[in-house]
Structure 1
Amino acid sequence: MTTELEDLAGRLREFARVREWERFHTPKNLAMALAGEVGELVAEFQWLTAEESGSPDPDALARMRTELGDVTLYLVRLADVLGVDLLEAAQSKLDDNELRYDADSYRGSARKAPPSPPAT
């Protein structure tokens, strides 16, 4: 992870430690909490048009910012508990996507690529 993400992960680790919450921060619980927060973020967009979602009013944007913060915190904490370098995982996934979705074949298309072969 980059220094900023490492710092955030460390701060979250300490936040949980001083509250004695480590026992609650299992991967399962963190993944479920992350899903809940993503649901709260999605709810902010639920009844907006595509145009409205691109330029939300200041109150809606403030709520979205809060939910994005919650999603980020749970994602960083989950990655930390699992020992996953979040940025490396994202870079690796983008590398895979560049192979699966070559620009010439997928430019302007929303179609899904066939599944990747299993890792060996």
Structure 2
Amino acid sequence: MTRQGKRGQRETPVFDIVPILEEFGAEIPHRGSGTWLKMKCPFHEDSAPSATVSFQANRFHCWVGCTDRAEDAIGLLMLYGDQSDFQSALAEAERITGTSGIPVRGERKRSSGVFGRSWNF
């Protein structure tokens, strides 16, 4: 699951955001330009795209307010799944994606940017 790396850094698994969004009934955009693609939010009625997804960063953000920052797979499962804690969300992400994630060494830190979270490598 989550392990300690060098100098106390945690190795946090990163999961593909696509199967997680599909689990919530999202229609995944397959074309577009740029890093963040527009899409309809699966968490509220949407007549026009109000959310964005980044396949490179494996992040999702709803601009209407369903998420207050760009969330990863674990964050979405904790917000909208039946999992309220990290360990349960981790197990559910492993079940949905069929993987144990890609371990990425780093520490999460707050960012003053629009998306709220960033990785410090």
Greater share of helix residues, 1 or 2? Answer: 1
Higher relative contact order (CA 8 A, sep 6+): 1
TM superposition score normalised by structure 1? 0.23
**Larger gyration radius, structure 1 or structure 2:** 1
Greater share of strand residues, 1 or 2? Answer: 2
